[in-house]
Structure 1
Amino acid sequence: MTILRHAISILLLPVTVVVVIPFLLLRTGDAPGGWGGGAGLDLVSRVAGGVLFGVGFALFAWCLLLFARVGQGTLAPWDPTRRLVAVGPYRHVRNPMISGVATMLLGEVLFWRSGRLALWACAFVLINHTYFLLSEEPGLQRRFGDSYRAYRAHVPRWIPRLRPWRG
């Protein structure tokens, strides 16, 4: 049942954000590569986009494993972690999973050179920032109390700290 919980949360959230919505935007919007610039720029953009997507996916997958193993929960708000996750990339930044998904989106923007995908990536970041301020962080504070308050005081929300927090 645990695998099913994770599969449902992955399909409903990051797959929708990184696969379904970009597919629909590309299908109905500007043609991939619509920024111009010729074959050389196209190749550089596709390689950079592929690398960024891979880095974002690796970060997302690492965070997903930490949520399952350390946090004993999923990425879904309706099935959250039972323990505060403050290890691995979470020692540098509070929201590395969202950073990973945003990096995948940025990779898609560069790979497809799509203005519509760029707007979607910006909207995704803005939506998540608002969600974290209004819902996620207050919920974490209620669930984890002083341990979350200490974590929040030392680990930035979006811009990673260079040295890991050793809380």
Structure 2
Amino acid sequence: MTASGDASRDKRLAKIGTAVFAVAPATAAGLLPWMVTRWRVQQPVPGGLPAQCAGVLLIGAGAVVITNSFARFALEGIGTPAPFAPPKNLVVTGFYRFVRNPIYVGIGAAITGQGLLLGQPRLFGLAALGAVPVVAFVSLHEEPTLARKFGAEYDDYRANVPRWLPRLTPWRQQD
């Protein structure tokens, strides 16, 4: 097979793998909140309509961030967000210019948004509880692995883009 054929095959496999792995954030941001609340709205909703509007915005923003970030893994990283099928290229575009972990941040936003929309404070606890293994995984496995694989490129990225709280302006990689 030619180099362009290999690249085409790699992209196709990355797209398939990323689509399959999408079950993970769908479970975290959809199935688990449903299991906790059955998506019942607490009456009255604490904070009323303003809280519910903020919730809708957080859910929408989380969905956009997750979807866009997943697509970047397949199209630019030529891999998946899954630890067992990592990207070949370091992804530092899109939402990754603002925060190093946009998928995790997007999942947290979606769960928090559901808590606001439904008036279900238990979902805030779910988001906080879910953050514990995520922070441990990122700190103990993901970041050391990326540092080994991408070296100075990742070190530069890590020095300029925060882990959890997004930058206000996009980072631009220096060539």
The two structures have a TM-score, normalised by structure 1, of 0.86
One-letter code aligned to 1:8: V
Partner of 1:121: 127
- In structure 2, stretches of 5+ residues that fail to align are 1-11
Q: Is the 8 A contact 2:45 2:119 kept in 1?
A: no
Partner of 1:67: 73
What pairs up with 1:85-100 in 2 under 5 angstroms? 85-100=91-106
Instruction: Tell me the alpha carbon deviations over residues 72-92 of structure 1, each in whole angstroms, 9 at most, x when there is no partner.
Output: 111211111111001122122
- In structure 1, stretches of 5+ residues that fail to align are none
Q: Is the 8 A contact 2:63 2:106 kept in 1?
A: yes
How far has the Cα of 1:25 moved from its partner? 0.7
Partner of 1:26: 37
How far has the Cα of 1:37 moved from its partner? 5.5
User: Between Structure 1 and Structure 2, how many residues are aligned?
Assistant: 161
Matched, 1:46 2:52: yes
Q: Aligned equivalents of 1:65 and 1:74: distance in 2?
A: 9
Partner of 1:6: 18
Q: Is the 8 A contact 2:45 2:118 kept in 1?
A: no
How far has the Cα of 1:32 moved from its partner? 3.0
Q: Is the 8 A contact 1:33 1:42 kept in 2?
A: no
Moved segments of 4+, more than 4 Å:
none
